[in-house]
Structure 1
């Protein structure tokens, strides 16, 4: 029968496949034949990752194709990357679609994008129909999309926000129209719909105006303002200003064809506002002037604040006295940037009115101030004038009055009106020869004056003649006018910003003493700036551009060929100047040759050579070289260099000495003119800086005169300026051959006073067989901060400046420095530096820490105040004293001597009581905390924060280590991983909290009280200090922890964590099993109630215990109560399916469960399916590992029958030749679980629960699944067979495996 069924099944399958082939061939014939209809090709939509376009794309794709093979071809960009990991299979198609919908089709994300686009509407600069249409379409499109997403954009908050955002992006004309609409209406009734309708009406108005303009332009010439507009676009930089005033008149009415203006038409006035709008649209009139033939945006009568004709605005009245004519005035201004000051064409003239009134004014262009017009009683008609700068970048409209007046030249008898208060015209300097002897039309010098009249090109050439006097480039030009000669044009650099001068002055003073970390901070700032400027948001992630380093310097590219020249260029090239020094002539000639070749690679020719050696000048063979000459002084990087004496010199600032009284601005300018980057004149310039700080403290303005007291000091300082050229500083630091030098030392001196502080660095060159040389290298001085600080702190700041300065010199001189020494006359500052920085308060600590990082504290020495040359930096001196002061230029006399002749440094031994008290004041106070009482609330707060026993144990151990390390010195502290001893200490803490009395009694060898809960356990303390259970099992061959368990209370949070951990590790075992596992290490008082409480609160166990109904069980069968070996009577069942991962896919698998009817021990096998063949293989594995049972009970007898049939067929006579001996697999009694014996089937079902109770949350591979099944097998088979009591004298507990 079965063979017939199989044969029929094969024939049916073949018939079905043949029918399919015929159907497919018929379709091919139809599609490829001549009768096939020519359908249009379907173009699939493309999606690149725009969230706003995903809904449209998916609707088209789903309606048209919805195929996994076409989905990938329709995706591009980030949308294609989103599903790049999925293969083209049916199983992955749903996952790919779900990924796309979750990535791009989330309603909240789409709504957010629409709101963002609504809030970021593109700005409308001009109220044209095209731009207004774009704003309207953007707002309307996003509003419709939000409504479709059930995100109501019309609510009060979002609607008003959208209105404000869209309104801000429209032009000022549209905004004012909207305000005129909403002003008389109720603000509560304004909605986003009303704003969209308003935009729509404005678009229709503009489109109607454009249509009327196109119609009117067919038969009319282009208007004159349009030609001027075109001319302005072509010639952007005009050389002069132009004023145009055009009056547009219309005599033919567009509404009634009468000979009057449209605005005065009675028919037009008789209708309402809506009727007037209709008439304007129908007649295609201008909405601004009611005229025809032009657009509203090109109307010549456009006025700021008047966007539509008043007769078209609802509830708007014309102002009283409104101008009857509209004039548009175009003012073009030259927009060329310039650094220097420019003189305007100003002149003083007599203005005469028509009534004969006369006054003296200062004029510039063809405008007159209202104040002057009122004073001269000038009257005239009102008109609106729009003034726009070159290119229309700035526009404003004013209601003006047109007046008439005339000018005449100044007469000697005229009396000038007092009006010196508005403009800040610069002083005219008398250094230009072409201006000498001219009778100027303006008064120079003069203070601030008010501009009363502006003369434009409409009357400009009526006053100016053709006679012009020019000077050199950058000098002003003189023009001859009716009023006299006027001066205009550039006059060089004007008054600089004092803030800029101060910044450059302080930057120069900070050279060499800036923080060493400034370069790194600058790089960090640059990185942060790059991050802020380049970060963008794309889809669901932020993207930052890669940071690019600058290209390598060209000299680095040729360092292999021209090594010396490349190194010199990199370190000694300053913009277009090169400065270097060589030891001998040969080295100089070689360097010049390499420099020439290297620079010629870039097309540069080195010129204007300067050298102090005539032999080198002859050898390099150039004609433009300046050699040593005592009369020749050349500037090298701004510092004068006397070539003959090879010395650096200084020059007197121009125009400073001659003035008797100056302002604070001029004082700052004079100080900034002394360029002294090395600080040779620092003791002299610090005096001027102190005066400048005093002016700042007194509140003197920049243009105010210096007070008398400070002016006297300033005058004395200026008197020394004429001696500056007499100062000569030798350029060379090592005047001998470098081979004769034994060592080089750097010595820095620091000092401070109430007014200033500073530091100076000297280089000591120790010669082999001659006297030593000591010369000053660099010096820096600073004003004391305005905030008052103690003198020792100022001395510490000066020491920091000295440390930074000496390190700067050591880094820049490119020579080996054998020793660095720093000197100070402050014992307090030295005591701070020689002590650990952490011992002092933050102010001292930060500076001492940096000083010690720069210069070792052992290299700081004390010197007397009279031997400290830095004292000149803090107090100042004159040029005369500085010139002959060897103490300043070469340091103290003992510095040239060996170290034995230096001042003795007695460290802290001679500190006076005052100094010692000052040192202690900056000491950091030590805070000692004493713990008087420990609150249990803190401990509970710690244990309640963690739900894992292991983590709590580790945290507690870390806390104990921290406390212990705080009490130990640094070298004895414990680091690394937590040790076993520290974990035991954490466990001891729990015992100390609950069994403190018992532990004290045991430590003191006293008997426990009769009321003690531990009396029956015979407790003792082990070598680790843990309280354990006593007993008589010392000789037992079991683990020590099982013989002597640790005693723990039942009502502690830590114990609950321990019980839950054990319960979860045993795969949520029952009370008996969990309690037995706990008893192997700990003994919990009232353990059963503690375990039951925790298992009862277990969430997983609660879910497993939930059953719809509980069936009453019948009596147990014979096999359950008869004594038998383990697995002699076996129950069989399948559990599953579970999912096993094979390569990239997950497939179903099942668990074959064998359970002992007597002991309930189990055996688990993994099978790939529930066929008879797989079951036979699992059965054979079970026999091989557990032995052959006598009875196998199952509730699925069909599988047994099928397996038996296949085994019989396998060992039939037809296949007997394949086996030498038939196996004895069939010698088992197979029993079907019938309805009257259903209880046997429940054995397998009950045994399934521990297997599936923990649920397969993750898909494992086959090996991992088999490992988990083995672990479950061991856990379940280790369950208890006997009751677990609370008496420590109970018998051992029986288990399945022991049984």
Structure 2
């Protein structure tokens, strides 16, 4: 008996079901069927027990007069670790499935629940809870997910209800914006930020956690929060504090170790890892020159700022759109997103997020790299949706690759695995009509796919500002009519057509001089095959001589091989219960395939019940085949070379 979910017009219900290994039908009580509004006919049910006990009832969820039974799970190896209760002389009161009264819990879960109830106590504004998995002797479980769930349900539920009533905004901020031990939140007003942060501070302090080192882009908020007695003044920290000042001031060249200590904080723009320079050697002159240019531009990044407020129109309930641009080259592929807000004829376009990635070291075609950038743009859009509470009325994805757009808009899915899986990932979160074409000159993601040394930090570049056409009405946006010939032929999977030519039989019948030798050879082969496939408990004839049954089985196998070699189409039609063509040579013989797969003749001679089955239903063999000649020769010799009439009569007794 196991818990299962059943579905119906009224939804899903969790019930208990009895599974039988040999069951061929599913039975449900009327009461359970009513829970999900399932409608079906009522049929009588007959239950037969041992000692010839039998009960016949209609399946209405009634009680059945079933015998008593007992279960002790320790007697079954496969049930020892299952959350099943032992029972003794229990009498089943119903058959089928019953509504699940409560969730089945393991012994570890029951022990954790008991420890939680017995050890939880309130100490001031905090709670003390014993070890949920504690037992004697101590034994740690493989997983503490059950204990964590109990802590959440036992400690948090009661306290959360009280805290949620007092500080609803603070609780919502903690639940939605807390990441490990960091709290990252945004607010519309400075007063709101101070109020909610102070409430969050109180909630965490009551639980024994002290929040400190508040950082804000609004100086007044930061000063107010850091004036708390438990929040020391924040100290400035640098990402490159371990690098010598002489290197940072460009008064001396760095070593490979010091250079990578800086650049690997982001990525390696110089591909130093490919060089053969030792770690503590001074960089070559050419690489040192690139480093000086790069570091000088990095220092200018301090003046690079991006407005935190996307648009004032968002707060005014304006129309919000997200536009994602994707592009790729042999060096990198990237995606960048912009927020387009419209309100009373005013349009604001603001940078939201961007993500460049270096191209794989393994050479890939440009269409595939463009497809990877489309996947990256889809992932960024999903991240934006999960991270913002804005109501997005429209999302548009832009690419300058007609090939990728053709793949996404194509209704045929005959692509290779890489392309097919990428398209599937894209279409899981987006629709084909959301993807549009943009010229390369207006594709802002193109800026991240072209390497520049040193990098240029300019707040007026198109990566930050976005394309100009987004400021205008949609009728002025770029368009392109996709053509079918835009598909890359090598990315389409070719359908393989295999032509199978029927070969000769696996047995060369012409090498045998007698039908008797052919039968015995085939019988020995069949016995060998049985020995090779022998199961541990199967029985195989250990005798050194062949039995009559083995010889008959070999003869049937020979006849089937001959028939499939010469009458394959007729056998196929008969197996599919189709009529034979009148042009077939077997049409007038009323052929059929018996239970052994042998093709036989049927006719009015079936009325002669006194004749043996072989004579009334003879096996059909082609007249010109080598096996037919061996059969005639064998019968002629066994009849001591008598005349033709005697030989034909003897053959007709079986063939």
What is the TM-score normalised by the length of structure 2? 0.52
Aligned to 2:581: 1000
Q: Deviations over 1:317-364 (max 9, x none)?
A: xxxxxxxxxxxxxxxxxxxxxxxxxxxxxxxxxxxxxxxxxxxxxxxx
Structure 2 CA distance for aligned equivalents of residues 711 and 615 of structure 1? 43
Residue aligned with 1:870, SS:
helix
Structure 1 CA distance for aligned equivalents of residues 341 and 159 of structure 2? 35
Residue aligned with 1:1053, SS:
coil
Structure 1 CA distance for aligned equivalents of residues 244 and 429 of structure 2? 38
Question: Contact 1:759–1:781 (CA<8 Å) still a contact in 2?
Answer: yes
Aligned to 1:1054: 597
Q: Deviations over 1:1190-1220 (max 9, x none)?
A: xxxxxxxxxxxxxxxxxxxxxxxxxxxxxxx
Structure 2 CA distance for aligned equivalents of residues 793 and 81 of structure 1? 54
Question: Contact 1:800–1:850 (CA<8 Å) still a contact in 2?
Answer: yes
Aligned to 1:1153: none
Structure 2 CA distance for aligned equivalents of residues 653 and 737 of structure 1? 46
Q: CA 1:905/1:617 → structure 2, altered by over 3 Å: closer, same or farther?
A: same
**Cα displacement (A) at 1:689:** 3.0
RMSD value, Cα = 5.1
**Cα displacement (A) at 1:587:** 4.3
Aligned to 1:664: 256
Q: Does residue 806 in structure 1 map to residue 398 in structure 2?
A: no
Structure 1: which 5+ residue stretches go unaligned? 1-74, 89-543, 627-631, 640-651, 675-687, 939-943, 948-986, 1016-1026, 1028-1046, 1058-1074, 1091-1285, 1287-1299
Aligned to 2:491: 922
Q: CA 1:625/1:820 → structure 2, altered by over 3 Å: closer, same or farther?
A: farther
Structure 2 CA distance for aligned equivalents of residues 1084 and 797 of structure 1? 71
Aligned to 2:269: 690
Residue aligned with 1:781, SS:
strand
Aligned to 1:784: 359
**Cα displacement (A) at 1:891:** 0.4
Which of the residues 615, 619, 631 maps onto 1:1086? 615
Q: How do 1:734-1133 and structure 2 match up within 5 A?
A: 734-736=311-313, 738=315, 740-766=316-342, 768-769=343-344, 771-836=346-411, 838-877=413-452, 881-908=456-483, 916=486, 919-930=488-499, 933=502, 990=571, 992=573, 999-1001=580-582, 1048=592, 1053-1054=596-597, 1086-1087=615-616
Question: Contact 2:574–2:593 (CA<8 Å) still a contact in 1?
Answer: no
Q: CA 1:999/1:790 → structure 2, altered by over 3 Å: closer, same or farther?
A: closer
Q: How do 1:325-340 and structure 2 match up within 5 A?
A: none
Q: Does residue 726 in structure 1 map to residue 303 in structure 2?
A: yes
Which of the residues 148, 173, 186 maps onto 1:551? 148
Residue aligned with 2:273, SS:
helix
**Cα displacement (A) at 1:888:** 1.9
Q: CA 1:854/1:991 → structure 2, altered by over 3 Å: closer, same or farther?
A: closer
Q: CA 1:726/1:991 → structure 2, altered by over 3 Å: closer, same or farther?
A: closer
Q: How do 1:79-228 and structure 2 match up within 5 A?
A: none
Question: Contact 2:304–2:459 (CA<8 Å) still a contact in 1?
Answer: no
Question: Contact 1:758–1:779 (CA<8 Å) still a contact in 2?
Answer: yes
Which of the residues 270, 285, 294 maps onto 1:708? 285
Q: CA 1:880/1:709 → structure 2, altered by over 3 Å: closer, same or farther?
A: closer
**Cα displacement (A) at 1:776:** 1.3
**Cα displacement (A) at 1:614:** 8.0
Which of the residues 166, 173, 193 maps onto 1:568? 173
**Cα displacement (A) at 1:588:** 3.6
**Cα displacement (A) at 1:663:** 3.1
**Cα displacement (A) at 1:903:** 0.8
Q: Does residue 601 in structure 1 map to residue 206 in structure 2?
A: yes
Which of the residues 576, 581, 600 maps onto 2:186? 581
Structure 1 CA distance for aligned equivalents of residues 599 and 203 of structure 2? 81
**Cα displacement (A) at 1:847:** 1.6
Residue aligned with 1:885, SS:
coil
Structure 2 CA distance for aligned equivalents of residues 576 and 995 of structure 1? 70
Residue aligned with 1:730, SS:
coil
Structure 1 CA distance for aligned equivalents of residues 181 and 284 of structure 2? 44
Structure 2 CA distance for aligned equivalents of residues 557 and 879 of structure 1? 57
Q: CA 1:996/1:936 → structure 2, altered by over 3 Å: closer, same or farther?
A: farther
Q: Deviations over 1:971-1014 (max 9, x none)?
A: xxxxxxxxxxxxxxxx996484699999433xx7xxx98xx795
Residue aligned with 2:197, SS:
helix
Q: How do 1:1147-1186 and structure 2 match up within 5 A?
A: none
Structure 2 CA distance for aligned equivalents of residues 745 and 86 of structure 1? 63
Residue aligned with 1:691, SS:
coil
Question: Contact 1:720–1:878 (CA<8 Å) still a contact in 2?
Answer: no
Structure 1 CA distance for aligned equivalents of residues 587 and 157 of structure 2? 85
Question: Contact 1:749–1:759 (CA<8 Å) still a contact in 2?
Answer: yes
**Cα displacement (A) at 1:671:** 1.6
Residue aligned with 2:363, SS:
coil
Structure 2 CA distance for aligned equivalents of residues 937 and 749 of structure 1? 63
Structure 2 CA distance for aligned equivalents of residues 571 and 550 of structure 1? 23
Question: Contact 2:177–2:184 (CA<8 Å) still a contact in 1?
Answer: yes
Question: Contact 2:290–2:453 (CA<8 Å) still a contact in 1?
Answer: no
**Cα displacement (A) at 1:602:** 0.3
Q: CA 1:731/1:624 → structure 2, altered by over 3 Å: closer, same or farther?
A: farther
Question: Contact 2:313–2:341 (CA<8 Å) still a contact in 1?
Answer: no
Aligned to 1:962: none
Structure 2 CA distance for aligned equivalents of residues 843 and 887 of structure 1? 32
Q: CA 1:879/1:1055 → structure 2, altered by over 3 Å: closer, same or farther?
A: closer
Residue aligned with 1:779, SS:
strand
Q: CA 1:774/1:660 → structure 2, altered by over 3 Å: closer, same or farther?
A: same
Residue aligned with 2:357, SS:
strand
Q: Deviations over 1:454-498 (max 9, x none)?
A: xxxxxxxxxxxxxxxxxxxxxxxxxxxxxxxxxxxxxxxxxxxxx
Structure 2 CA distance for aligned equivalents of residues 901 and 737 of structure 1? 24
**Cα displacement (A) at 1:863:** 0.9
Aligned to 1:1187: none
Residue aligned with 2:497, SS:
coil
**Cα displacement (A) at 1:892:** 0.6
Structure 2 CA distance for aligned equivalents of residues 997 and 592 of structure 1? 81
**Cα displacement (A) at 1:732:** 2.0
Q: CA 1:1053/1:617 → structure 2, altered by over 3 Å: closer, same or farther?
A: closer
**Cα displacement (A) at 1:871:** 1.6
**Cα displacement (A) at 1:625:** 12
Structure 2 CA distance for aligned equivalents of residues 806 and 689 of structure 1? 27
Aligned to 1:458: none
**Cα displacement (A) at 1:894:** 0.9
Question: Contact 2:332–2:450 (CA<8 Å) still a contact in 1?
Answer: yes
Question: Contact 1:609–1:624 (CA<8 Å) still a contact in 2?
Answer: no
Q: How do 1:237-252 and structure 2 match up within 5 A?
A: none
Structure 2: which 5+ residue stretches go unaligned? 1-73, 90-140, 508-525, 531-567, 601-605, 620-651
Residue aligned with 2:489, SS:
helix
Residue aligned with 1:785, SS:
coil
